Structure 1
Amino acid sequence: MIIFGTKGYLYQLAILTLVCGQCGNPSAHTLRKRVTKFSLFFVPLFPVSTKYATQCTFCGAEQRVSAEQAEQLQAQALNGGQGGPGGPGGQGYGQPQQQRYQG
């Protein structure tokens, strides 16, 4: 008998201050990485899928981001929110608070 399946792992990569595309409030967003791994006899062997998302702590809205956007956001968090072109595009979501209010 062979026992196999998948198991999900959730990693919190960073916490950023971004403007939410859903509620429009500048608030903290968590950058998360979800990895699904194939397991054999309850031992995780290799990743099957990897997905990235940010979640607004104000309204709870979750936005999926690409791996490249996640890397940019994580680098931005390591730099203290300074510099870089920002995060994912579309509806103002993922734009750093400082960049939104510049004229």
Structure 2
Amino acid sequence: MIIFGTKGYLYQLAMLTLVCGRCGNPAAHALRKRVTKFTLFFVPLFPFSTKYMTQCTFCGAEQSVSKEQAEHLRAQSANDPAHGQPHRQPYRS
């Protein structure tokens, strides 16, 4: 008998101040990375799905972003001297 399946991992990459595209409030947004790995006998072997997203802490709206956008936002948050300045985040449902 072979036991296989998947296991999900959620990594928080950064906290950003963005203007939410849904509620319009300047609020903190969590930049997250969701990785799904294939498992064999409960041992995670390799990732087969990676997704990036932001989530508004005010209204809870979640939005998918590309890997390039996520890397840009993460670098911007690490190097931004005006850390508290909100950036506009378009909302796509």
TM-score for both structures, normalised by structure 1:
0.79
- The count of aligned residue pairs is 86
Give the 3-state SS of the residue equivalent to 1:24 in structure 2.
Answer: coil
Structure 1 unaligned residues grouped into runs of 5+: 95-103
**What does residue range 58-73 of structure 1 map to in structure 2 within 5 Å?**
58-73=58-73
Shift of 1:30: 0.2
The RMSD of aligned alpha carbons is 1.5
Letter aligned with residue 32 of structure 2: R
User: 1:99 corresponds to which residue?
Assistant: none
Which runs of at least 4 in structure 1 moved beyond 6 Å after TM superposition? none
Give how far 1:52 is off.
Answer: 0.3
Q: What code does the residue aligned with 1:65 have?
A: V
1:51-99 Cα distance to aligned partner (Å, 9 max, x none)? 00000001000010000000001101111365xxxx8xxxx416xxxxx
SS at match of 1:50: strand
Provide the identity percentage: 77
Between structures 1 and 2, the one with greater strand share: 2
Q: Secondary structure at the match of 2:24?
A: coil
Q: Deviations over 1:22-77 (max 9, x none)?
A: 00110100000000000000000000100000000010000100000000011011
